[in-house]
Chains A and B, each alone.
Chain A
Amino acid sequence: MPEIPRHRSIRKVVQGVLDGPRTGACVTHHATIEGVDARYEDFPDWVQPGLRSALERNGVKQLYRHQRLAVDAVRRGEDLCVVTPTASGKTLCYNLPVLQRVLENPETRAFYLFPTKALSQDQVSGLQEVIDSLGVPVRTFTYDGDTPADARTAVRTRGHVVVTNPDMLHAGILPNHPRWRKVLQDLEYIVIDEMHTYRGIFGSHVAGVLRRLLRLCEFYGSRPRFICCSATIANPAEHAERLLGRPVTLVDRSENGAPSGPKEVILYNPPVINAELGIRSGVLSQARRIAAPFVEQGIATICFTGSRLHTEVLARYLKEQLSRKPKLQGRIASYRGGYLPGLRRQVERGLRNGDVTCVVTTNALELGIDIGRLDVAILAGYPGSVASLWQQAGRAGRSTSRSVVIVIARNTPLDQYIVNNPDFLFQASPEHARIDPDNLMVLVSHLKCSLYELPFRAEESFGGENLVEMLEFLEEAGLAHRRNDTWHWSDESYPADGVSLRSGDPENVVIIDKTQNDRVIAETDRISAQTIVHEGAIYMVESQPYQVDRLDWEQCKAYVRRVQVDHYTTAQSYSRVRVLERFEETHREYGGVKAHGEVHVAKKTVGYKKVKLYTSENVGYGDVHLPDVEMHTMSFWLTLPGEPLRAAGYRGLDVVDGLLGLGSAMRSLAALHLMCSTGDLGLALADPEDEWVAGLGRGGQRMVVRTDGESTRPESLEIERPTVFIYDNLPGGVGLAEKAYALCDTLLEEARALITGCMCSAGCPSCVGPIGEVEDGARDVAIDLANWLTGRISRPRGPGVWPEGSEPPKRTSQTDAPRRDGVMA
């Protein structure tokens, strides 16, 4: 389509961003990562000639260096973890050794695990192409919820490669292992692709599933080897070892032999539009402005946003802006989880064959779904982890030509930190993938499943905890029956049904369009449904807005109709937190207490804001009436003594806003230190004796909600033990809270520095939290409290006193980097 050669037009548009009168000043960093040449190795001589020529017919004439190292390690019988950048030919690292073994011994069996069904289908078709040109009957079957019942026997007995996902392994295959005895007896390889996605609570569950699988393999007398592929994370080998419970051979990215063209990285901080309030222009309108010229030139562009809603809004902006260009009609697509499979496949195909020039997406396209290579990646917001950022950036870049990545910062402490500290991206190591397979809730869940699968003997082990104690616990609960040193499952239930590997709730809410004969247009999980398809919400699919008329919570159905509106909605929610058990606590000099332990969290969605498109004005509120979403999880908390606060003259409102502001900054910094996303941590302010919690009332107004459900304005609150909770935002927790507890002093110091150093005058989204959710003055209170809690002053100074270290802000120009001294030192 474009008449000018692609690389020349890319340079022109990039130059336009760098030199543009409005955009140039927003670029905080511009660097070029040099391209690398391919490093090739020969095929190992153990590869059968037939397999080799089949691969050659599929375009593989030589191996890249990392591929050669990987297949040799597998051949030596080692468990392998290979770290592969996007599109470096990772599937060959497992397909080659597996196919070779099947050719040598047709009884060989392999499991391929992918995190999602979509990825499975993609990989099966790729493998099938090689098999087809091999001309030998190697049978590859997908086994998931869509596999018809009459095909399942063939999969169990005849499939050489069984492609499935952890959920199916957990609930379908392992509990029924006697039927899978053929596969389990002859299992030689377990391939785990996209290993870095198995982190957090999900990863901990997957580790439990793999323990169960290995236990069964031992029963059937097989000793399979693992072949894992991971995107770049800081601790691939360690993560693999935690996940598999075995040491692995690592082939890391320093061995990568795949070529790549030069990549320009631009960090972009939107202009300040209100210096008083510290507000910068919204990330979506900036993304639109930056993306449009690329798309107009026909340059293949992918835009990542932070949420499903933002995906829809940005796609709509771009479609509207480019609606007058006839050659771009139908060439801009959106793609996210919740779209029905048919629509997703259509967009994927469009991207591969070039029919789609621009796709706006969530992290749904971050993983290895084959969409070909694109030229430009625009990240509307830091995706929450360095690993994700480079994964998304990797979607742009062909093997030789120039590609561009533009990261646009939001008004959040994390984003601001990233664009102003480019070294963090280019030098600091990426995140660690953390899992806790010995999380007691996870461990006991899988112990139950494993006991259902096979009786346990006392001398066995299962995870890091005392097996006999856990079995005795199950025995007391009536789930296990003991005979000498052996425990048997003894209940009529099917424990795998009660354990979901992902969110706590396996149910999905389907979204039904009443204006189109009750057609199902999308679906979402139940937890998200509260904030996405509550009554009155504007829900968008392919940029078409729908209004939700009714959410049937029991039946898991949301009824919507097509509307034409110029606003979207964002839900407002808060959490009630109650302490269940205190694991550890420390008393502080100022009379407060820091602690961590188990808590009960009830998330309450109370209403929503209507936000006007383009201007982001607040144009109204609505109420939502839905049951609370509840969970048990782990939390860190910091309790302040009430007396010094009252003595300093603080009213309830001041303390609530100031502490929420300080907590918000601490949460962002904890996310940076713990290398998780801010959303993995929940924030609440309450009294630990559960007398009140800081909540929201009608119209999003700050309210204090008491145990009896009565709401009052915070002005009248009697301050006794105000407590900031920062909790693991996942049922059961993954150990983030405990680490936050250990980091408490660092977090307080850095939060103080962050807020003190911010260029706003009264608090802004970049320091104490979004405007409208904290009142004016919150920043001053937060600084005063931080000074007190870090021991700089012996008592809080109280309202109206200009706190030390918080000089009136200079009117800074938008290009001045805010002071960040002390943060992340």
Chain B
Amino acid sequence: MSAAQGGASLGSGPTFSPPSRLPRADPNRPPTHPPQLSRELRGDDTGAWFHCEARFPAGHLHGAMALDRVLEVDAAGAVVLSGDPRLSSFDPREAVFFDLETTGLMGGGGNLAFIVGIATVDEDGGVHLVQYLLREPGDEAALLEGLLPTLEAAKFLVSFNGKSFDRHVLADRFVMNRMSPDVVLDTPHLDLIHPARRLFRRSLASCSLSSLEEACLGVFRHDDMPGSEAPAAWFAWLRTGDGSAVRRVQDHNALDLLSLVTLTAHLDRCVQAPGAALPDPAALAQAGRLLVERGEIDRGEQVLQILTRGDAQDPVVYGAMHHLAEHLRRSGRHEEALPLWRRMRAAAGGQDLHPWRSEAVALEHRLDRAGEALDVVDELLARLANGDGFAAQDELDGLLHRQERLRRRTGLSA
């Protein structure tokens, strides 16, 4: 059980707040319309594909955010978000944002990518969106040849769940057409789903792209086609020539791509300027932990420090104290952790044994202050004896053993 959960079970104090404190969608808000794409048949007699594209100026608003905000994303943010040192030279203008629509949901040889959606960022922050739309299976080699220069030029890939799904599908398509899949597999890849889940899993009921759009990006889709209907839409086009449903898949994919760009900007701000970007303390605490874990120690500590100023009875505050104290302890900064443990002990009493034990250990073994350590152990045992909290037998034995040893060390025992 984590300390945050331990805190949540405190008898007194405020109960845990509802999952989201982010601004909720205004149902009257106008929907975000998909962009208009041009459509041009490219290729030759051996194979051709529809090259569908649109260009957006730097100031274009997608939902509540201008696209050129993505220029703020830098290498430090990308490394924190991905944990991948290969992104330490990340530049959004050298990245390919991509998202596939496929003809099946199982993967494998017969599962085609009928839309390869690509977004790239200009020098000035304008966005170029291209969809490679497959007409029929036999055109795939031509489509991939057409796509290849863009992928070869990409120094980075950005996707939402692409590390698990899209990049493997695309790699399989290259293999199937006797082309090397390394262009997809070896390029450093920032998959936003993982940091998004890390940051918002305690704040949002779902971390799907559409939930994030509504909660963070101000994007509200109207009459969006669910991804599960995409295969049927393409096969209807292939068999009957009716492309109306495929247009809706294109709309869906185009919105996904634009959201990918602004979500990158937003997540970057969440880790670069967490206090400003994240009004929700639970998400803020997650950001602090992520920063510390990914080596942005100062900023992470700062975020957690600010949170610990709140009421220790608040489970989010309590959780932040726990994580900060743990981080300080692991960094050998026991002295700095002591006040956190004391406040946690005061807030939770015998209900959470962790701060008592941590403080006692630090005092005894790291700081050589056996007398104070004995005070901590004595007080805890007294509380447990008075029915404040519960310790399992082996836990209790350990405490008594520690008490005995500390008494000997401090000369209180004969």
Contacts and interface: CB of A to CB of B under 8 A. Distances in A.
Contacts of A493: 104
A489 interface: yes
A481 B109 CA distance: 15
Interface stretch (A452-460, A550-558, A786-794): A452-460
Interface stretch (A176-184, A299-307, A324-332, A518-526): A176-184
Interface string A421-460: 0000000000000000000000000000001111100000
Interface string B82-114: 000000000000000000000111111110000
A320 interface: no
A176 B238 CA distance: 24
B373 to A, nearest CB: 42
Nearest to B107: A176
Nearest to A492: B231
A486 interface: yes
Contacts of B168: 179
A453 to B, nearest CB: 4
A705 to B, nearest CB: 43
Interface string A453-485: 111000000000000000000000010010110
A490 interface: yes
Interface of A: 175-179, 181, 451-455, 478, 481, 483-484, 486, 488-495, 497
Interface residues of B, number: 23
A490 B108 contact: no
Given A181-B175, A483-B139, 7 more contacts: A178-B181, A453-B110, A454-B176, A481-B238, A488-B137, A490-B238, A494-B110
Contacts of A455: 137-138
B235 interface: yes
A492 B138 contact: no
Contacts of A492: 103-105, 231-232, 235
B172 interface: yes
B16 to A, nearest CB: 33
Given A178-B171, A486-B138, A494 B176 contact: no
Nearest to A220: B175
B171 A489 contact: no
Interface in B138-166: 138-139
Given A178-B172, A481-B138, A486-B138, A494 B109 contact: no
Nearest to A452: B110
Interface in B208-242: 231-232, 235, 238-239
A178 B139 CA distance: 19
Contacts of B235: 478, 490-492
B181 A489 contact: no
B136 interface: yes
A433 B118 CA distance: 55
B228 to A, nearest CB: 10
Nearest to B173: A178
Contact of B137 (A478, A481, A494, A495): A481
B108 A452 contact: yes
A575 B235 CA distance: 41
Contact of B109 (A178, A486, A490): A178
Contacts of A491: 110, 235
A489 B138 CA distance: 10
A453 B105 contact: no
B250 to A, nearest CB: 18
Main secondary structure of the interface of B (DSSP, over half): helix
18 contacts: A176-B107, A178-B176, A178-B181, A179-B168, A454-B176, A455-B138, A483-B138, A486-B138, A488-B136, A488-B137, A489-B137, A490-B136, A490-B137, A490-B235, A492-B105, A492-B232, A492-B235, A494-B110
B170 to A, nearest CB: 10
A493 B232 CA distance: 10
B183 to A, nearest CB: 14
A358 to B, nearest CB: 48
A478 B239 contact: yes
B137 A483 contact: yes
A492 B136 CA distance: 14
Most chain A CB inside 10 Å of its own CB: which residue of B107, B108, B136, B181: B108
B259 to A, nearest CB: 25
Nearest to B171: A178
Contacts of A179: 168, 172
Contacts of A452: 108-110
B103 A176 contact: no
Contact of B110 (A181, A451, A478): A451
A178 B173 CA distance: 8
A181 B138 CA distance: 22
B109 A176 contact: yes
| Most chain A CB within a 10 A radius of its CB, from B137, B168, B235 | B137
Contacts of A486: 138
Nearest to A482: B138
Nearest to B103: A492
A170 to B, nearest CB: 12
A494 B138 contact: no
Given A490-B235, A490-B238, A175 B109 contact: yes
A497 B104 CA distance: 13
Contacts of B238: 481, 490
Contacts of B139: 483
> Which of A177, A486, A492, A493 is most buried by chain B, counting CB atoms within 10 A of its CB?
A492
Interface string B54-92: 000000000000000000000000000000000000000
A489 B137 CA distance: 8
Which 4 A-B pairs give the minimum distances between C-beta atoms?
Answer: A483-B138, A488-B137, A452-B110, A492-B231
A453 B112 CA distance: 11
B108 A175 contact: yes
Contacts of B175: 178, 181
Interface in B104-139: 104-110, 136-139
Contacts of B110: 175, 451-453, 489, 491, 494-495
A175 B110 CA distance: 8
A786 B409 CA distance: 107
Contacts of A454: 109, 176
A177 B171 CA distance: 12
A278 B137 CA distance: 68
B138 A453 contact: no
Given A481-B138, A488-B137, A494 B172 contact: no
A490 B112 CA distance: 9
A143 to B, nearest CB: 16
A260 to B, nearest CB: 48
B249 to A, nearest CB: 13
Contacts of B109: 175-178, 452-454, 489
A452 B103 CA distance: 12
A484 B109 CA distance: 20
A408 B181 CA distance: 62
Contacts of B104: 492-494
- With most chain B CB atoms within 10 A of its CB, the pick from A176, A178, A481, A483 is A178
Nearest to B178: A219
Nearest to B104: A492
A554 B137 CA distance: 39
Contacts of B172: 176, 178-179
B318 to A, nearest CB: 34
A141 B176 CA distance: 26
Contacts of B103: 490, 492
A478 B106 CA distance: 19
Nearest to A172: B108
Contacts of A453: 108-110
Nearest to B232: A492
Interface string B163-207: 000001001100110000100000000000000000000000000
Most chain A beta-carbon contacts within 10 A, residue among B110, B172, B176: B110
Nearest to B234: A492
A355 to B, nearest CB: 38
A230 to B, nearest CB: 31
The listed residue with most A CB atoms (<10 A of its CB), out of B105, B109, B137, B239, is B109
Contacts of B137: 455, 481, 483, 488-490
